[in-house]
Structure 1
Amino acid sequence: MRISHTGPAPARRNDWHTLKTLLPYLWQYRGRVMLAMLFLLLAKVANVAVPLMLKAVVDHFEHAPGQVALLIPLGAIIAYGLLRFASSSLGEMRDAVFAKVTQGAIRRIALQVFEHLHRLSLRFHLERQTGGMSRDIERGTRGIAFLLNFMLFNIIPTLVEIVLVAGVLLSRYDIWFTIVTFTSLAIYIAFTLGVTEWRMVFRRTMNDMDSKANSKAIDALINYETVKYFGNEAYESRRYDQNLQVWERAAVKNQVSLAFLNAGQALIIATGVTVLMWLAARGVVNKTMTLGDLVLVNAFMIQLYIPLNFLGFVYREIKHSLADMEKMFDLMGEPREVEDAPDARALNSREVTVSFEQVAFAYEEKRPILHDVSFSIPAGRTVAVVGTSGAGKSTLSRLLFRFYDVQQGRVCINGEDIRSLSQESLRRHIGIVPQDTVLFNDSIYYNIAYGRPDASREEVIEAARAAHIHDFVSSLPDGYDTLVGERGLKLSGGEKQRVAIARTILKNPPILVLDEATSALDSRTEQAIQEELRQIASNRTTLIVAHRLSTIVHADTILVMEGGRIIEQGTHSELLDQSGTYARMWALQQQVES
């Protein structure tokens, strides 16, 4: 397998749009922002005034007689020290005031991304790559911190200082000082912008390959056992390295181009400073400028040289931060496939009837799954669905949870289309024991209590007893504090399934969905669990998706599905009397089990 790298570079985002997206998060702290900007401005005024005090001291020593020279500059020296202290302390005060803005904005954005991802449809999450997405979010939040701190406290202060210095030069000296300063600055900015834009393609490629490589690594590590089963360690390493190779080439180009940018910036700054010093030196020789003026110009140039040199770095990093934020903001802009209606109401009922009315559905337009499916589950009754793999059985539960919306027909609760209900209240009324139980990498207690996080410890243990897992948990050295590992891999399939049953019992929903709920259990445990499931389903509206027909003979109605359609329905005995598909499936399973 080869990865093509001849396609276009990752698309460029509108940086101004990214900045505008960020502004509302700053506006919440506008008071702090304004105060920080005031401290910033005062700090820069103090910083620019420092060379002026230094010039006064030097000029005094150049022109004053011996004894007077020891007394008069004291005020200028004290002012010099106070201005230096003010410049530094005001900068620290600015940082202290703005810290809440930066960290608060990062927190709000990270939380908003997290909440938005949970609002997206199941389709999005089935197609996502977790490793790459987590890396995008991590880089994006880190980019926000850099952008806020350095754009506001490096670029803007540098520009303020340049304007103040240019004003001093223009008011005190020949216009050529201002011309040289602004010409150097214009060339510097044009060079920095041009080269940085050219370099951004390397950074975007690095980001893209970093996310892809991370996705491959996370995917392989999550499926560690499968990799080992098939001895495909070398294959996974090659897949990982294919992306790393592209990342390496982009990283080398990024570093080489950085060296070229730094060298060009240094040449421009050195040329500008040299010309200014020549002008100042000539002025001293011609007696149009004092030695203090020479010191002043030199001090200004040193003051400008450091932030100007840093400005190039900051601008590059800000561009990199904007590139890092691209995919995170793209995630925030990902449209929701399933949304609450503007007037959605909350469902609140313990007596619930579920009905599917002429439902048609397809995950993909070219591959329809359900065709004109209609059935009803009266309140407190049990309906079981059986059929071959791919018949659309599990799709029914996904539609009931409203992970997807139907293309035709409607799914109703108490005669009301579930699209008119809030998703939160709908899902609060449904509990599910899925075929493939995935647990959080936490304790057994946490995973059971997840069904109702505010439940007491006694209620959690009672739910574990009902699911016949309490004795097993009690036998473990750490009891309910035992960690289950990534996706629950430290537990057997049956143990995970019983944890899932326990947390659904704890949730105590009026609607119960059992999707192959006992498929991972041994026969003895299955019988015990089936009896318990029958008891908890006796007063609930229950949908059972089953493979083993012996587990659903008690159902009030059994639906037989084939090719996305209901081809038979009735009680167990009625379906056997029909001598149709269900009867053949029953006979076949009886032969296998005998």
Structure 2
Amino acid sequence: MTRTTTAAAPLPLRDAVRGIAPYLEGVRTRWVLGLLSALAAGLVALAIPQVIRLLVNTVFAAPTTPGAPAAEDATASVWWAVGGLALLGAAEALFIWLRRFFILPPAADVENRARIAVYRRLQRLPVAFHDAWPSGQLLSRAQGDLSLLRRWIAFGSVMLVVETVTLVVGVGLLFWLSWPLALVYLAAALPIMWRSYGFRNDFRTASRLSQDQAGDLATTVEESVHGIRVLKAFGRGPHALEGFRGEAQTLQGTEVHKAGVLASFIAFTVSLAEVMLGVALALGVWLVATGQMTVGALAAYFATTAVLARPVEGIGQLLGMTLSAKTAIDRHLEVMRQPVSIASPPGTDPAEEAATGASVGEDPDPAVADAPVDVSALPPSRGGLAFRGARFRHPDTPDDAPDLLAGVDLELVPGETMALVGLTGSGKSTLLQLVPRLRDVTGGVVEVDGVDVRDYPLEELRRRVSIAFEDATLFSDTVRANVLLGAPAAEVADGPDSPAAEALLELALDTAQAGFVADLPQGVDTPIGEEGLSLSGGQRQRLALARAIAARPDVLVLDDPLSALDVRTEEAVTARLREVLAGTTTLIVAHRPSTVALADRVAVLQDGRIADVGTHADLLARSGAYRQIITTDREDAR
């Protein structure tokens, strides 16, 4: 099964490089210096055959040749040639070192900027994007693709230019030494150029396919690791292995095909060049025999072709590396150019706008990023929450299908606890996600303290609203770090272990009935592992609830976060919540009658609308839909 996302049309190389231009700010000068150093190394390498030419023509000339040097002069010429070759070799080594010195650090800086930029973008992209994109694809774009980009900037892009220039200059030297032999060498260029066109298309297609398949494979590994308990419990490890083996073999086949395309191109170019050298050897001997060429020139010709053999053989690999890097840039820009559909209103959040930047990957201006959000025009926090004709439909919903939420009208009194009930799939969780703008309404309005949530800076809105999910997600960190993740800045300004932070942590854990933390090996400083899977489901839910409490919100939105708790613990948590968060408006998705009974009022969601609102007792007496929902949930719980 493939999870590869639909690829956008590939960009021309110039446009692709222009797309990552913001990452190159400040490093272009060093890249140019590295390029010049590499060019100098290539030109020095081409100068060595000319020294050999002079040496052969002066030292090994026949004694009867007019002007032939004496034995003493020949010896001196040898030593001069040896010294010259040594200096040229040392200069070439120095220029190669300078190339690495100038280019490697900025190339690593480009990779780092791109990686930070893509992570920032992933944080800002809406939930709908993450629902649609496999995590393995995003991981491969943030890791493997950017590593390939770094290697291309540090080596491939430079050497492609250098070896192209080396070939041009080298062919010019060949014409200077002997134009007939140069024509023989150049005769191989036209077939190679013709073959390069087909190679480019074939390799680009194979490269894109292999990188996408690598992302799919990463997704499979991630899903298997996260679901290892399920695989073991159902004995499906061998089945999962077979599926993984199939994907791995498919990727292997693509990589082998890609290597074959590259190998056939390299074999074609090298073999054609070698055949032409054989022809040139026969012609060169005839030219020397007829006096049309000196022995030194012939020796320099073949020494030059030996120098050119490296770029001739490497040009195919460098072209393949360039095409792979081009694919990596395309894949990177596919993420970076995804629209951020949920953002703060223009001009309300300087930090967010600076982080976004007008160009892909632009780092935020620290002076702007640190600017405080102006909330003076916003009403004071009271905990008001209202849905007025709120509608929502998923983007991929068929046109003839009804909206998931078809006009929800509901108002919560500040400080009250309201339970939201409905049949499975009625849109309860989606309705809750509209409050902190994890999703946006497609019609109507959601208001917090009388203001449309879309008019709040996201930072301010999510300061006022806190949410806890049924599927508790914890991070690979300590209990303390997980619980204080969204704590007010003032509470943790002096550090997560300051007295104020400690007091908040203790209050949140106590409210969520998370006393089990004291029994962990290192207490609140115990690392809880990836996604908290070392804990039970109930323990994870209590820590997630404690995290929502520690945020000290004005509006608390709970998506059935107590489902894994027993009824007695649930009652204790709810009672403690009422005490600690007195004045906090709470909207909770509930399935258990025990949870519903603890709420001030209950809202019934049916057919995309609020069918009824009242106390638990009133609804039991008058609402058949409510009784059906409660009965269904009770049976499901059994």
Q: Give the TM-score, by structure 2 length.
A: 0.84
CA separation in 2, counterparts of 1:408 and 1:85?
Answer: 72
Shift of 1:579: 5.9
Contact 2:42 2:92 in 1 (8 A): yes
Shift of 1:66: 0.5
Q: Which amino acid aligns with 1:456?
A: P
CA separation in 1, counterparts of 2:310 and 2:108?
Answer: 27
Alignment match, 1:403: 438
Note the alpha carbon deviations across 1:406-458, whole angstroms, 9 max, x for none.
Answer: 12111122322222222232223221222221211333222223233845224
Alignment match, 2:75: 70
Q: Does 1:206 align with 2:182?
A: no
CA separation in 1, counterparts of 2:221 and 2:419?
Answer: 41
Contact 1:352 1:511 in 2 (8 A): yes
CA separation in 2, counterparts of 1:73 and 1:14?
Answer: 55
Shift of 1:468: 5.2
Q: Which amino acid aligns with 1:350?
A: S
Alignment match, 1:476: 520
User: Which segment drifts farther, 452-461 or 267-276?
Assistant: 452-461
Alignment match, 1:361: 392
Shift of 1:590: 9.9
Alignment match, 1:152: 157
CA separation in 1, counterparts of 2:633 and 2:288?
Answer: 106
Note the alpha carbon deviations across 1:542-586, whole angstroms, 9 max, x for none.
Answer: 222222343354544432222221121134455456465446767
Relative distance call for 1:299 and 1:21 in structure 2 (3 A) is same
Alignment match, 1:107: 112
Q: Which amino acid aligns with 2:548?
A: T
Alignment match, 2:358: none
Q: Does 1:419 align with 2:454?
A: yes
Which residues of 2 match residues 303-314 of structure 1 at below 5 A?
303-314=307-318
Relative distance call for 1:373 and 1:144 in structure 2 (3 A) is same
Alignment match, 2:603: 559
Q: Does 1:25 align with 2:41?
A: no
What is the aligned counterpart of 1:197 among 184, 197, 201?
A: 201
Contact 1:32 1:97 in 2 (8 A): yes
Alignment match, 1:456: 496
Alignment match, 1:267: 271
User: Which segment drifts farther, 197-206 or 141-150?
Assistant: 197-206
Alignment match, 2:345: 341
CA separation in 1, counterparts of 2:46 and 2:260?
Answer: 36
CA separation in 2, counterparts of 1:250 and 1:43?
Answer: 36
What is the aligned counterpart of 1:143 among 131, 145, 148?
A: 148
CA separation in 1, counterparts of 2:483 and 2:598?
Answer: 28
Which residues of 2 match residues 508-523 of structure 1 at below 5 A?
508-523=552-567
Aligned residues: 588
Shift of 1:242: 3.5
What is the aligned counterpart of 2:11 among 10, 14, 34?
A: 14
Alignment match, 1:282: 286
What is the aligned counterpart of 2:224 among 209, 220, 223?
A: 220
Shift of 1:122: 1.2
Q: Does 1:331 align with 2:331?
A: no
* Aligned alpha-carbon RMSD (Å): 3.1
CA separation in 2, counterparts of 1:590 and 1:83?
Answer: 87
Relative distance call for 1:260 and 1:514 in structure 2 (3 A) is closer
Contact 2:107 2:154 in 1 (8 A): yes
Shift of 1:482: 2.7
Contact 1:382 1:537 in 2 (8 A): no
Describe the SS at the equivalent of 1:368: coil
Q: Where does the alignment leave 5 or more consecutive residues of structure 1 unmatched?
A: none
CA separation in 2, counterparts of 1:127 and 1:332?
Answer: 15
Alignment match, 2:183: 179
What is the aligned counterpart of 1:298 among 299, 302, 306?
A: 302
Alignment match, 1:131: 136
User: Which segment drifts farther, 536-545 or 96-105?
Assistant: 536-545
User: Which segment drifts farther, 486-495 or 89-98?
Assistant: 486-495
CA separation in 2, counterparts of 1:554 and 1:527?
Answer: 8
Q: Does 1:491 align with 2:535?
A: yes
Relative distance call for 1:585 and 1:297 in structure 2 (3 A) is closer
CA separation in 2, counterparts of 1:435 and 1:72?
Answer: 86
Q: Give the TM-score, by structure 1 length.
A: 0.89
CA separation in 2, counterparts of 1:473 and 1:432?
Answer: 22
What is the aligned counterpart of 1:530 among 565, 571, 574?
A: 574
Q: Where does the alignment leave 5 or more consecutive residues of structure 2 unmatched?
A: 61-67, 350-372
Contact 1:467 1:498 in 2 (8 A): no
CA separation in 2, counterparts of 1:240 and 1:442?
Answer: 30
Shift of 1:123: 1.6
Describe the SS at the equivalent of 1:151: helix
Relative distance call for 1:420 and 1:254 in structure 2 (3 A) is same
Contact 1:121 1:404 in 2 (8 A): yes
